[in-house]
A = this chain, B = another copy of it.
Amino acid sequence: MNIGDVAERSGLPAKTIRYYEDIGLVRPGRDTNGYRRFCESDLHKLAFLGRARSLGFSIEDCRSLMALYEDRARTSFEVREIARDHLARIERKLEELQEMHKTLSHLVAECAGDDRPDCPILRDLASHGGACGGEP
């Protein structure tokens, strides 16, 4: 398979696949003309990577997960630790976004959104942390 076929079958853009080779996540062979030649197991690896990335795992996590996947002596403990850490990061991010959402949705709801200059959103931005009250 050439890179175009693998791109289509894995759902990853060719650019991304080249990048993954660059950083050592896959090692396709080469044809005499210099083209990358992928085998089924490369395709499988790329699908694995795509799935892991779609779950938000970092590239470094993906590297570790692939290594564990290919290591028959792995323990499910090791895998779960990576997933747990990632889950914790997701939870922190969720809380952060939920907090932003709460504040912003209140502000948007309070704002008239008309042709007048008065705006609770700008008031909020201007009033946090320090010097208030000059211009507009």
Contacts and interface: CB of A to CB of B under 8 A. Distances in A.
Contacts of A116: 75-76
Contact of A48 (B68, B94, B125): B125
Nearest to A94: B97
Interface string A40-66: 110110111111111110000000010
| Secondary structure type dominating chain A contacts | helix
Contacts of A50: 128-132
B113 A80 contact: yes
B129 A105 contact: no
A136 B48 CA distance: 13
A97 B97 contact: yes
A107 interface: yes
12 contacts: A10-B130, A11-B129, A40-B131, A41-B135, A50-B129, A72-B136, A75-B116, A77-B114, A77-B115, A81-B113, A87-B104, A97-B97
